[in-house]
Structure 1
């Protein structure tokens, strides 16, 4: 897989941001990005389609998440995960082993807004969303992720929401 091109975002008239490549020889010159970060999402969605197309559950499947950037290539962000700390004797998580991730919150820093407001550092990161609320996942087990991937490959609105939240640039 190739590295992301150097990218910065420029504001369009409608207030949205548009990625442009930075010319390493002249950092003030910009050019359209040849391979947008969204191209990598297309690759990821193709992998989701491949995995959910398999008829049998592969016991060797696992989930890896990529954390948001903490440097301002995109808006800086981080996730706070919530885990099942003890085996639940009953309830929706009784079938899950201890240590299973249940949910996460995404926090982000809207740099242009913070720069305009000259906000203090205590309000730098704000909660953007909770995974279960946005995607309707009951937990973050393999089975829940597979069900979510099945929905993602068939639902245009879910893919649009996923794309907008992946790069923390169009909330």
Structure 2
């Protein structure tokens, strides 16, 4: 089968998406793809979702932070950004997503917006609620481990 001529091939844009969740959240590529399709379908409808053709092209996630590359058709980048903004849970785990930028190639997307830009996380012990508790610190925010789960706090909340 012959390839399509270059002027007929679909044109793609790549969205760099930062992912942040609780340190114990278990998020994988398949769950993120399902959440993306569900959000696009609800926001854009079936026809709009098909026009955007959103696909998770690259995905990395570990210890509460991650990155993804989402492929969308060139004319549908605004719709793709809106669909990503509608995602608040992946596999029933609350997440925060930020579109860091849009690029025309995967390589430019990785170099400009992704690689090495995730916050450094360190394990630490912090004073919180009148007790020393284990925490995972990222920049000026800490995810403090409590018996009920993790709670996020800033440096003003703990010593």
Structure (1 or 2) with the greater helix fraction: 1
Q: TM-score, normalised by structure 2?
A: 0.27
Q: TM-score, normalised by structure 1?
A: 0.26
Greater relative contact order structure (CA < 8 Å, 6+ sep): 2
Structure (1 or 2) with the greater strand fraction: 2
